[in-house]
Amino acid sequence: MIKAGIIGSTGYAGSELVRLLQGHKEAEITWYGSRSYIDKKYSEVYQNMFQIVDDVCMDDNMEALAEQVDVIFTATPQGFCASMLNEKMLEKVKIVDLSADFRIKDVATYEEWYKIEHKSPQFIEEAVYGLCEINREKVKKARLVANPGCYTTCSILTVYPLVKEGIIDPNTIIIDAKSGTSGAGRGAKVDNLFCEVNENMKAYGVATHRHTPEIEEQLGYAAGEEIKINFTPHLVPMNRGILATAYAGLKKDVSYEDVKAAYDKYYAGEKFVRVLDKDIYPQTKWVEGSNYVDINFKIDARTNRIIMMGALDNLVKGAAGQAVQNMNLLFGFEEWEGLDLVPMFP
């Protein structure tokens, strides 16, 4: 049994880690980190954990935590992990950072899109981008895993095989994505109040959203060249879930079977990626509460474009579930340990 510490356990991504790790046979949480609830019982912060979690919240002292656990999850705001990390910590403990601090290889790009100074650029190179289906072998050997973003996991997995196989022109990709409000975290913000979100839909971060360079970087590796995409996120009145609809120009004359074969080449053996049957399109409800990403596509011969769709639960495959999947790879556990979750419906 390994010991896990969660910094930011009282946020939405952290609390989902707490939920998932309750069912993990090989890991136990020994540190419930918090900034605002130190010394308070975790189950008083989240009453759904009443009589399940007895522990009290600890502080966010990552240095002390590194002495006591085998793995640290940082489910904290951008900049926190980078400001705490040092070599001594990395020699003692594996780190899975759920923030964006180590996702983008070019520090200038990170600083430009996040508007913060990177406090430990020396670790960016060695950090492994923890998109398990694509970087599995690298994750296994990592000390520091940069857990991908929620929109980015959904968008990249949806489009990746067709970029990799040269079926689409990557510079024509347009991604239109919708997210439930848990994606914005638990902190109080006017934009996320009930009356602002309920019965409403809005685009935000138009042409400026910080997930754009992350998607471009990863799809650029698949394309073998630098690419530029359009990415527009929308906030929709749901608790959880992301639906990404991506459009791109076709480079080849392809049939349904050709494209399906490209998806199967990369995902046929993947437990958590489900390429749906022909003409069945992903819905957030079909993945809610689970670590699945559902994907499908439709060729539009009239416009010579293809429409690709992906759905996931932002808190599971988009955050905590993928973080647990990464932990499983880091420690040689079954990749699906703690993640054999059947989607909820309705």
Catalytic residue numbers?
A: 150
Position 80 contacts ligand NDP (CB under 6 A): yes
How many Cα atoms within 13 Å fall on the side-chain side of residue 102? 29
190-229 binders of ligand X2W (CB under 6 A): 205, 211
> Interacting stretch for ligand NDP, rule CB under 6 A, among 61-69, 156-164, 182-190, 327-335?
182-190
Q: Which residues of 128-152 are buried (b: 16+ CB within 10 A; e: fewer)?
A: bbbbbbbbbeebeebbbbbbbbbbb
Q: Residue 100 Cβ, how far from ligand X2W at the closest point, in Å?
A: 5
296: which residues sit within 8 A by CB, 6+ positions away? 275, 276, 278, 280, 281, 282, 308, 309
With CB under 6 A as the contact rule, the residue among 2, 107, 184, 261 that binds ligand X2W is 184
> Interacting stretch for ligand X2W, rule CB under 6 A, among 33-41, 107-115, 176-184, 266-274?
176-184
Q: Residue 211 Cβ, how far from ligand X2W at the closest point, in Å?
A: 6
How many Cα atoms within 13 Å fall on the side-chain side of residue 118? 21
Say which entry of ligand X2W, ligand NDP, none residue 34 contacts (CB below 5 to 8 A, set by partner kind): ligand NDP
267 membership: H or E segment, kind and range: helix 256-267
What's 286-342 look like in SS3? HCCCCCCEEEEEEEECCCCEEEEEEEECCCHHHHHHHHHHHHHHHHCCCCCCCCCCC
With CB under 6 A as the contact rule, the residue among 66, 150, 167, 227 that binds ligand X2W is 150
41-100 binders of ligand X2W (CB under 6 A): 99-100
Position 40 contacts ligand NDP (CB under 6 A): no
With CB under 6 A as the contact rule, the residue among 132, 235, 293, 339 that binds ligand X2W is 235
Q: Which is nearer to ligand X2W, 165 or 214 (CB)?
A: 214
